[in-house]
Amino acid sequence: MSLRVVFLGTAASIPTDARALPSVVVRRKNELLMFDCGEGVQRQMVRARVGFHKRMRVFVSHMHGDHVLGLPGLLQSMSLLDRRLKLEVYGPVGIRAFVEAIRRTVQFVLTFPVEIHEISKSGIVCDEKEYYVEAVRTSHVVPSFGYALVEKPRLGRFDPKKAEALSVPEGPLWSKLQHGKSVKNAVGRLVKPRQVVGPLRPGLKIAYSGDTRPKRSLGKLARGADLLVHEATLMDELVDRARRDGHSTPSQAAEIAKKAGVKRLILTHVSARYRDVQAMLREARKVFPRTDVAEDFLTFELAPIEA
Amino acid sequence: MSLRVVFLGTAASIPTDARALPSVVVRRKNELLMFDCGEGVQRQMVRARVGFHKRMRVFVSHMHGDHVLGLPGLLQSMSLLDRRLKLEVYGPVGIRAFVEAIRRTVQFVLTFPVEIHEISKSGIVCDEKEYYVEAVRTSHVVPSFGYALVEKPRLGRFDPKKAEALSVPEGPLWSKLQHGKSVKNAVGRLVKPRQVVGPLRPGLKIAYSGDTRPKRSLGKLARGADLLVHEATLMDELVDRARRDGHSTPSQAAEIAKKAGVKRLILTHVSARYRDVQAMLREARKVFPRTDVAEDFLTFELAPIEA
């Protein structure tokens, strides 16, 4: 099991030649989980070939246009392509009025249901069988949330050879053992799960900051994550400006990553003033070496390390 | 005097790798006149380096998202860049509600006035000292307009040598002659304007179809234009589909160009199904040889032929 992470847009506020407006999409099995949805996201999806017909959830960090204005065009194009599957949209209070206003004032016929979940406080906003998504209030100039996608641990690996050696016949008893119940074997002796089943296999975890000043609660949310995607709009020399505008610097993002003990940090939401990100990387890596700066279409697979 | 024409987006409905959503911008002196405003237009403007601080008017052909969803992000980015100049927006009834809904539901502070002109019938919608813009009802699946930018003729060229030879002293008499009034020269003889002033210098004319079935009134609007930008969404073999969806084919667009006696035709709004436009070009050129198919960032200067 792995997660495919694709950065569709990595700019801050205003797009550049090289960077589209913010959006990161995570493909999990046949589902897309998108974090922020900047203008132009549908074209970036075309370019990245992620598809318009998959199960999909969109998590919006805040209601600034550069994070949400890709949604209307996405709804229109999905409808033109005759999507039928429900799309679920999560975001701060106000996102429902935005989507409804677009549906009222732009002419198109939606071919699929859009379910909107307005978020007003930190907590789990989406709880599925195999994963959940938790939101946490962040600190921007308007109400804002960061998100973590957390895969639930999978059952341990069952060892059929050991089960046979312990005289447990194949069938319902194997399933009971794998689900944590002790059983009696063919000769009436008790066999415990840990004799034939490996440890729980942990899932993957990705945290996404959205736009925010450095925020302790986000660090808590990201604890132990396989990947933290954190904004770093302005460099350290502009830390006062960053604080005023509700943003972070590379070393602030790196501090969050370090305290949270994440495995990897990727900086995004890069101001148009930085054409070359080497200096930005240096600032962050001083604090947290396993840092990279995203660019549009950066794509990688995140896979769990199996014991 | 010339007009600079830049195709910012040339796709139909859904963007592709190569084509952004529809928008053509005409630069006239220090003003931008934009025809349609598809999602992503602000990024295309960055790429084409047309600037966010100029005098600007936006003419929207109809209220489908692919023609209007670039406007919200444009307003937001112009505000982030602290634009002060008024932006004027023209479009079918409904465009005011759209812009107001965006301002209500997306969080940003507009730093400049936006003046919205809703159009409900054919006629001149903008009448400036040096040019006017005329709208004409077209035939799409929702209310739609085509537009023509028409430069007013400039005064004829004044020949100072001829004036001197006719003993008209430099000063207010020269101005009177140039503005069409006869004057008396130094020895009391009548001098007529045509003796010293060339013929009126005609301005340029550009017509833009928006999305439409072939429409005679659009041909009338385009009469004698230096450039007709006409949609050609689907090729001739799909003419029934084109009619049903409110679109034109290459040879239909070429017929309009031919009847209107335009100097040049550029086809745009090209369906994603056509990667190679050679066949499309052939269809159109059979009817009207001076045809090209637009691609994104196609840019040229249109200059009047001076006598």
Q: What is the mean pLDDT of chain B?
A: 96
**The residue type at B161:** K
Q: Annotated catalytic, A226?
A: no
Tell me which residue has tokens 């006239």.
Answer: B28
- Residues B109 and B86: their CA atoms lie apart, in Å, by 14
Distance from CA of B9 to the nearest CA of A (A): 12
The partner residue sitting opposite A101, judged by closest CB among B16, B70, B101, is: B101
* Two structure tokens written together for A207: 């945290």
pLDDT of residue B262: 98
The partner residue sitting opposite B80, judged by closest CB among A14, A16, A80, is: A14
**The residue type at A121:** K
Do B73 and A39 make contact, defined as CB atoms within 8 angstroms? yes
| Chain B residue with Cα closest to A64 | B107
pLDDT of residue B22: 98
pLDDT of residue B117: 98
pLDDT of residue B306: 61
pLDDT of residue B1: 72
Please give the share of chain B, as a percent, with pLDDT higher than 70: 99
**Could you tell me the residue ranges of all domains in chain A?**
3-154+200-302, 160-195
pLDDT of residue B91: 98
At a CB cut-off of 8 Å and minimum separation 6, what does B61 contact? B35, B36, B67, B91, B138, B140, B144, B145, B146, B147, B208, B209, B210, B211
How many CB atoms within 10 Å of residue B8? 29
**Continuous H helices in B49-108:** 65-68, 71-80, 95-105
Of the candidates A226, A223, A193, A203, the residue with the CA atom closest to the CA atom of residue A153: A203
Averaged pLDDT, B46-55:
96
CA distances to A159, A165, A177, A196, B85 from A181, in Å: 15, 18, 5, 11, 73
- Residues A299 and A26: their CA atoms lie apart, in Å, by 10
Q: How crowded is the C-beta side of A18, counted as CA atoms within 13 Å?
A: 13
Contact B83, B115 (CB under 8 A): no
Do B63 and A107 make contact, defined as CB atoms within 8 angstroms? yes
- Residues B93 and B264: their CA atoms lie apart, in Å, by 31
pLDDT of residue A108: 82
Between β-strands A291-293 and B227-231, what pairing exists: parallel, antiparallel or unpaired?
A: unpaired
How many CB atoms within 10 Å of residue A146? 31
At a CB cut-off of 8 Å and minimum separation 6, what does B224 contact? B205, B260, B261, B262
CA distances to A302, B158, B179, B180, B199 from B191, in Å: 86, 13, 13, 11, 16
| Chain A residue with Cα closest to B14 | A77
Give B-chain residues touching A20 at CB under 8 angstroms. 43
Give A-chain residues touching B81 at CB under 8 angstroms. 14
Intervals of chain A under pLDDT 50 = 307
- Residues A292 and A268: their CA atoms lie apart, in Å, by 9
Q: What is the ipTM of this complex?
A: 0.91
* Two structure tokens written together for A121: 């406080």
Do A65 and B94 make contact, defined as CB atoms within 8 angstroms? no
pLDDT of residue A306: 61
User: For A3-154+200-302, which CATH class?
Assistant: alpha beta
pLDDT of residue B64: 96
pLDDT of residue A92: 98
- Radius of gyration, CA atoms only, chain B: 22
